[in-house]
Chain A
Amino acid sequence: MTVWNKLTNRRFMLALGLAATSVGMALILGGWLIDSQTLLHGGLICAGTGAIWLVCARWTTTDRMRTVDRRYAREFFLAMGSYMAIMLLVWPMLEYVQGTAARTLIALSPILPVVFIGRSVMRRVRDGDELEQRVFLEAAAIAGLTVGVLSMAAAFLQTAGLVQIHAGLMWVLPGLFVVFGIALWWTKRRYREE
């Protein structure tokens, strides 16, 4: 049995948190050394996410990861890593590229890993057991409704000239993922021990 097969949920979360925090710190250092705002912001998001994962590990189970979870982790973080690499290495090229076709290609390049992130989530939901599927459905409904209502509220405020949200539509998908994650944790609690 390989180390990957013996991995527990908590150890995975700890490893992920440490990796993200280390990469984040390296990016912050790199951004500070070469004076790059992109690297600094990317590093802060990465280190912040890693710190959240490290804290969350405290409440993560010590069960051995199931096959579906290992596959999901592999697919999701590979896609997420590609997304971050594209955002840090390819996206900044927009400043130097002039042609419409090349700019379109660079601008749309982060979409490919996002599609793979969505695919990994869909496969995890599809292969979950019956209770997991019910929990996923409830969390998805909460996320859809919350982000839908917040988007509409933001659109009304912007139309009324009260707020100015830069690239507002870009926040919809990350918002869905974040609220889905919180709703998943909240929904799972209802089915936990006495």
Chain B
Amino acid sequence: MKNHLRTLRNQQGWSQAHLGEQLDVSRQTIIAIETGKYDPSLPLAFKIAQLFDLPIESIFIPGP
């Protein structure tokens, strides 16, 4: 699954550590999601969408 998390984070001017703190996850987890090496759970995906005030499908794109 691809995502626009890095772009959205950069638009806000946030560091990976800062985003991690807001989502209560480690920086390594943010890195893994941004690079597509890890697909977040539904609750975490909703939390991300809520933080950026966007629908989930505009952040996460289904696919290999």
Contact = CB atoms under 8 A, between A and B. Distances in A.
B24 A191 contact: no
13 contacts: A61-B27, A63-B17, A64-B17, A66-B26, A128-B26, A129-B26, A131-B26, A132-B29, A191-B28, A191-B31, A191-B32, A193-B35, A194-B35
Interface of A: 61, 63-64, 66, 128-132, 134, 188, 190-194
B8 interface: no
Contacts of B31: 191-193
Interface of B: 17, 24-29, 31-32, 35, 37-38, 40-41, 44
Contacts, number: 38
A192 B38 CA distance: 10
B28 to A, nearest CB: 6
A192 B25 contact: no
Contact of A130 (B17, B35, B37, B41): B41
